Amino acid sequence: MGKTAVITGAGSGLGQSAAVRLAKEGVNIAVVDISEKGGIETVELVKQLGPDAIFIHADVSKAEEVKKYVDQTVEHFGTIDYFFNNAGISGSGQYFLQTEIDEIEKIVGINLMGALYGVRYVAEVMLKNGGGSIVNTASSAGVIGQDSVVTYSATKHGIVGLTKSLVAEYAKDGLRVNAIAPGPTETPMVKTFFEDNPDMKANAEAGIPQKRLGTPEEVAELVAFLLTSKAEYINGEVIRIDGGFTNTK
């Protein structure tokens, strides 16, 4: 039946591009997203390439909904081999002291708690079946400090700690966990953020040595490499994909 991947935030951006890239390798996909429209679109893109795919609606900030998407994936496909733990939001771009408490709670709930819940339930399935591979989505803001994204940055630094600590505990049991740290990338989330904060796009592009934003397809190539057996001795790494952005900081 082939390998199976769960991808959160798979209805657009990095998640959708990763789903398409993995489908080209024959991987079946459980498409998890809060957006039914985007999720169904990704399912159709995957099926056009041959593998099976299902859409599961879930709010990843709720543990019971995370458990639901894991249970439904196992029920349909039998197991989980790969997990792209990707769902996230950026926030309004306000400086921290102007950020509303409910926005802070929402960002932490989706970006950090959602990721923690995801590995909690997915890794349990993987370890029962001899192991598996996880890629967590961190960010350039998870390896350096950046203004106007304090809460987002805090959650992405948390993703780095989650990645490294899981390896310390479970690498011996066959679990591989790595993280990607994309810089500014042309996803719907980033485009919306820059539309709301136009000066920041020009500043971002000026600060990237390659003088352009990354593309979701470029990030998807890295995700596919890290998830598959091609990278079987890479474990606990946080790999930057940012055109040199953080290397100049």
Per residue in 10-48, pLDDT tens? 999 999 999 999 999 999 999 999 999 999 999 999 999
Please name every residue paired with 29 in a beta bridge, in sequence order, or none if there are none: 5, 53
Reduce the secondary structure of 50-98 to three states and give it as a string.
CCCEEEEECCCCCHHHHHHHHHHHHHHHCCCCEEEECCCCCCCCCCHHH
Judge whether 194 lies within some domain.
no
Q: pLDDT at position 12, please?
A: 96
Judge whether 193 lies within some domain.
no
What is the rounded distance in angstroms from the CA atom of residue 160 to the CA atom of residue 138? 7
Are 162 and 210 a contacting pair, CB within 8 Å?
Answer: no
Three-state SS for 197?
coil
Judge whether 161 lies within some domain.
yes
Please give the positions annotated as active site.
Answer: 152
Quick one: pLDDT band at residue 106, thresholds 50, 70, 90?
very high
Find the domain containing 33 and state its range: 4-185+216-239
What is the rounded distance in angstroms from the CA atom of residue 42 to the CA atom of residue 130? 29
70: CATH: 3.40.50.720
Judge whether 19 lies within some domain.
yes
Judge whether 227 lies within some domain.
yes
Judge whether 55 lies within some domain.
yes
Average pLDDT for 122-132: 97
Judge whether 198 lies within some domain.
no
Judge whether 102 lies within some domain.
yes
Number of independent structural domains in the chain: 1
Q: 168 pLDDT exceeds 90?
A: yes
Quick one: pLDDT band at residue 201, thresholds 50, 70, 90?
confident
List b or e across 24-40, with b for residues whose CB sees 16 or more CB atoms inside 10 angstroms: eeebbbbbbbbeeebbb
Q: 202 pLDDT exceeds 90?
A: no
